[in-house]
A = this chain, B = another copy of it.
């Protein structure tokens, strides 16, 4: 059985998922697409699929009988409505981040899903599928380093366009650490604070860069995340967990070692796109596999999308206040409980 997927939004990320489903992954095909730009939708359908039908809007696509599952890759403000419609239709839905642009919107999706009675939603946080993070999680769960006490993360990009603003350091950049760390630690966030070091001359005048986020968890773990998006030298993701018995860190991105021109070392990746390409494949393959077996989604949940929204709001408040901002979550439905600690592979 092949899973028949409809895609809402055929921009860059939509195209990338369409291509991976059609050419790289197993068990699914794209049978329907839609986009506010209908001409683009048609062109993408023609380029990558074997006759995917172009729909006028998300409602029609979701309702279509030949669509088994839905990918939401439209722009952020449109996510909530599409996801709610998919839940209403009882169809599995993979939604790129953000799940919704507000915490309230995320809550509405959570409530709809709980009312539906089974998990239909997977949010597009891909880091949990990266083999490095999976190895880190295994190390923690197998008590290789004892209880985690601190986590130190680095999120560096070589540069940003002028349109990148200070709050995007939270909403677009830090959000990846926000999602992966509470999964990694099997813990919940308590507070977030921001420190602004001396600003790099390489950032546009309106942007505070770098920033250092200090996040505390319910269990008392202290997380530091350096976000430095104009670091010039490359794209660099680091994560180190300091435990009672040892320290475990993400591996370096594998790259040939060179000794030449007076230096010994390797190239640093310049473009984030290559860093998590295997993780993108894994997250979508897991979505397809779950659809195929008719079982609940096991990836990042609507609740995780809600947590990311609440944390992002607090992070932006912390940028303005300079103070430690508390994290206040609604009661977590027991519906979501058992999935948090699960390692997908």
CB-defined contacts of A265 to chain B, threshold 8 Å: 258, 263-266
CB-defined contacts of A220 to chain B, threshold 8 Å: 197-199
Instruction: For the complex, give the distance between the alpha carbons of A268 and B257 in Å.
Output: 13
* A2 CB → nearest B CB, Å: 9
Q: Residue A270 at the B interface, CB < 8 A?
A: yes
Q: Which of B147, B195, B256 contacts A198 (CB 8 A)?
A: B147
Considering only CB atoms, which chain B residue lies closest to A28 in the complex? B26
Q: Determine whether the beta carbon of A244 is less than 8 Å from that of B24.
A: no
Which stretch in A90-98, A110-118, A121-129, A224-232 binds the other chain?
Answer: A224-232
Q: Determine whether the beta carbon of A256 is less than 8 Å from that of B197.
A: no
**Contact size class for A?**
35 or more
Considering only CB atoms, which chain B residue lies closest to A214 in the complex? B195
A245 and B260 in contact, given A23-B27, A251-B266, A285-B24 (Cβ under 8 angstroms): yes
* A120 CB → nearest B CB, Å: 23
CB-defined contacts of A266 to chain B, threshold 8 Å: 251, 263-265
Q: Which of B150, B233, B234, B246 contacts A226 (CB 8 A)?
A: B150
Instruction: For the complex, give the distance between the alpha carbons of A231 and B245 in Å.
Output: 6
Q: Residue A254 at the B interface, CB < 8 A?
A: yes
Instruction: For the complex, give the distance between the alpha carbons of A256 and B138 in Å.
Output: 10
Q: Determine whether the beta carbon of B149 is less than 8 Å from that of A198.
A: yes
Q: Determine whether the beta carbon of A254 is less than 8 Å from that of B210.
A: no
Q: Determine whether the beta carbon of A256 is less than 8 Å from that of B262.
A: no
Instruction: For the complex, give the distance between the alpha carbons of A39 and B254 in Å.
Output: 43
Q: Which of B24, B136, B246, B278 contacts A233 (CB 8 A)?
A: B246
Q: Determine whether the beta carbon of A260 is less than 8 Å from that of B242.
A: no
CB-defined contacts of A255 to chain B, threshold 8 Å: 135, 251
Considering only CB atoms, which chain B residue lies closest to A232 in the complex? B245
Q: Residue A313 at the B interface, CB < 8 A?
A: no
Chain A residues in the interface with B (C-beta under 8 A): 1, 21-27, 50, 131-132, 135-136, 139, 144-150, 152, 195-202, 210, 212, 214, 219-222, 224, 226, 228, 231-234, 236, 242, 244-268, 270, 278, 285, 289
16 A-B pairs in the complex with CB atoms less than 8 angstroms apart: A23-B26, A147-B200, A197-B222, A198-B221, A198-B222, A200-B244, A210-B242, A226-B242, A233-B246, A233-B259, A249-B257, A249-B258, A253-B254, A263-B263, A263-B266, A263-B267
Q: Given A23-B27, A278-B278, list of 20 further CB < 8 A pairs?
A: A21-B26, A24-B25, A135-B255, A144-B258, A146-B201, A147-B198, A148-B198, A198-B222, A212-B224, A226-B242, A233-B246, A233-B260, A233-B264, A234-B259, A236-B259, A246-B259, A253-B254, A262-B267, A264-B268, A265-B266
